[in-house]
Amino acid sequence: MLIKKKIAFLFDKTNPWLLRYLPLLKKLTKKNYKYNFFKDYIKINNFEIVFVLGYTRILPESFIKQNKIVLIVHESNLPKFKGFAPLQWQILKNRKNITNSLVMLGNNEKVDSGKIVLQNKILLKGHELYEEIRKKQFDSTYKLIKKFLHIYPNFKIKKQKGKSTFLRKRKQEDSKISIDKNIKSQFNLLRISNNNDWPAFFFYKKSKYILKIFKSNEIN
């Protein structure tokens, strides 16, 4: 009887956008693999492969040691744009061709400094809003995971090369719009704003105003 390799997916319950795509992850090829899904890393022990998705906290070395391979997905051409919200920060720089990296976590490594396993592209046209951006982000991540599982255990790794840059965590005040600037110059900020959790806003005459952006189905 074939013993299937144990695969774990670790999600961050404080960053839940990926959970909506859980049904698609469950449809990954089941040949040779058995999938398990967690929101608490403490429950993950002795797994063949662990995919850490959308996790915003540093995992302890003990966790990495007690599983064979631990992989994260980071939306940048590492070592550039390490840190938080790399996709959003790059969109604010008007980037449309964004590298997505599958990275292996090792012991005693700094944040986002692991060896690169696979890479592909998140291609944007510049009109996508938050939900569309997330969908393209997931599609890219899904392809990386699927390809890795297809080639495993025959995969190669490469060290990161070049100068590192580090991005800070985005805060609620980063969604502030200036009423003294035009919409076009701030459109990327509107695009990455989450209408429900961190909408764009501005202050005027001692009041705070919330901005929510949607696409119209009407074509003029």
Higher pLDDT, 109 or 58: 58
Window from 112-116, 137-141, 146-150, 213-217 with minimum mean pLDDT: 213-217
Alpha-carbon gap, residue 14 to 31, rounded angstroms:
32
**What is residue 219's predicted lDDT score, i.e. its pLDDT?**
58
* 72 pLDDT above the threshold of 80: yes
Q: What is the pLDDT of residues 5-33, one digit of tens each?
A: 999 999 998 888 999 999 999 888 777 89
CB 112 within 8 A of CB 59: no
Higher pLDDT, 72 or 216: 72
**What is residue 43's predicted lDDT score, i.e. its pLDDT?**
95
Q: What is the pLDDT of residues 171-211, one digit of tens each?
A: 999 999 999 999 999 999 999 999 999 999 999 999 999 99
Higher pLDDT, 106 or 96: 96
Cis before 153? omega within 30: yes
Q: Where are the beta strands (DSSP E) in 12-153?
A: 33-38, 49-53, 69-74, 82-83, 97-104, 115-123
Q: What is the mean pLDDT of residues 125-137?
A: 97
**What is residue 218's predicted lDDT score, i.e. its pLDDT?**
61
Say what the pTM is.
0.92
Paired with 99 in beta bridges are 121
**What is residue 3's predicted lDDT score, i.e. its pLDDT?**
81
Q: What is the pLDDT of residues 135-149, one digit of tens each?
A: 999 999 999 999 999
* pLDDT confidence tier of residue 1, bands split at 50, 70 and 90: low
* 217 pLDDT above the threshold of 80: no
Helix (H) or strand (E) holding 136: helix 130-151
Structural domains present in the chain:
5-167 (3.40.50.170), 172-211 (no CATH)
**Mean pLDDT, the chain, whole residue set:** 93
Reading phi first (left if > 0) and then psi (alpha if -120 to 50, else beta), residue 165 is in beta
Higher pLDDT, 107 or 83: 83
* 215 pLDDT above the threshold of 70: yes
Percent of the chain with pLDDT over 90: 84
